[in-house]
Structure 1
Amino acid sequence: MKALAGYLAGLLFGLGLAISGMTDPARVIGFLDVAGDWDPTLVFVLGGAVITTFIGYRLVWRRQTPLFESRFQQPTRRDLYTRLLGGAALFGIGWGLSGYCPGPAVASLPGLSWPLAAFLVAMIAGWWLSRRIRPSQ
């Protein structure tokens, strides 16, 4: 059931990205181009996500345990550190240059193009490299 719930959540996320047009990197780049031909579409997508998350968390935290786990898993580290800031900066630079982040890139796979393929190769290489530099704890 846990895997099925994950697949259904991923499917819903991918459909939302496709319906909202966020699989089109030109929309994301248009949103980031505040000094040029600005496209505000992403604001509405992000606003919808914030509202959904706000309501969802209020409902989830009323439960004693999650549906498919014995306890909630929350991050314990709360400080800002170099690897976190560096990773966030690399993510932002890659997002701004390509118009893709991992979710929309995977949702865009049916319309695979050379820029998308290059992004996916770079994303997988970065993931692989990060695992080799410092394995997860």
Structure 2
Amino acid sequence: MRPFFGFLTGLVFGLGLILSGMSNPAKVLNFLDVFGRWDPSLAFVMGGASLTTFVGYRLVWRRPTPSLMPSFDIPTSTTIDRKLLGGAAVFGIGWGIGGFCPGPAWTALPMMTPGALAFVPAMLAGIWIGVMIRSRAS
């Protein structure tokens, strides 16, 4: 049952990304271009997502356990270190250069846009390089 709900959740998320324009790198780049052709429409997408998350968390935390898991999986680390800041910087730079976040990049991939065809393999290569660096450091 969990794989079905995982698929369904991913499908709804992907459709939401497409309908909101988040899978269009030009729209994302115009949102980030505050001194040029700024497009504030994605602020409404982020506001809607924030509101949905706020309400969703309030409802979920009232439950003793999640619906499909034996317990909540809550991160325990609150450390802000070099790895966290470096990863956030690389993520943000990649998003700013490519106009894609990982989720929207995957939703744009079936449209065969050149940006998605370049971004997704570069993202996967970056993930692989990060895993290799982390495994050697351990």
What amino acid is aligned across from residue 13 of structure 2 in structure 1? F
Deviations 1:53-110 (A, max 9, x none): 0010011101000111111001111010111100100111111111101110111122
CA RMSD of aligned residues (A): 1.2
Give the unaligned 5+ runs of structure 2: none
Q: In the alignment, what sits opposite 2:114? A: 114
Q: In the alignment, what sits opposite 1:127? A: 127
1:16 aligns with 2:19: no
TM-score normalised by L of structure 1: 0.95
Q: In the alignment, what sits opposite 2:48? A: 48
Q: In the alignment, what sits opposite 1:91? A: 91
Deviations 1:5-24 (A, max 9, x none): 11111100000011111111
Give how far 1:113 is off.
2.2
Give the unaligned 5+ runs of structure 1: none
Distance between the aligned counterparts of 1:94 and 1:133, measured in 2? 18
Distance between the aligned counterparts of 1:134 and 1:77, measured in 2? 18
Percent same amino acid among aligned pairs? 55
4+ runs deviating over 2 angstroms: none
Give how far 1:44 is off.
0.5
Give how far 1:114 is off.
2.3
The 3-state SS of whatever aligns with 1:63 is: coil
1:75 aligns with 2:40: no
What amino acid is aligned across from residue 37 of structure 2 in structure 1? D
The 3-state SS of whatever aligns with 2:87 is: helix
**Alignment size in residue pairs:** 136
Distance between the aligned counterparts of 1:37 and 1:23, measured in 2? 18
What amino acid is aligned across from residue 123 of structure 2 in structure 1? M
Q: In the alignment, what sits opposite 1:26? A: 26
What amino acid is aligned across from residue 118 of structure 2 in structure 1? A
The 3-state SS of whatever aligns with 2:34 is: coil
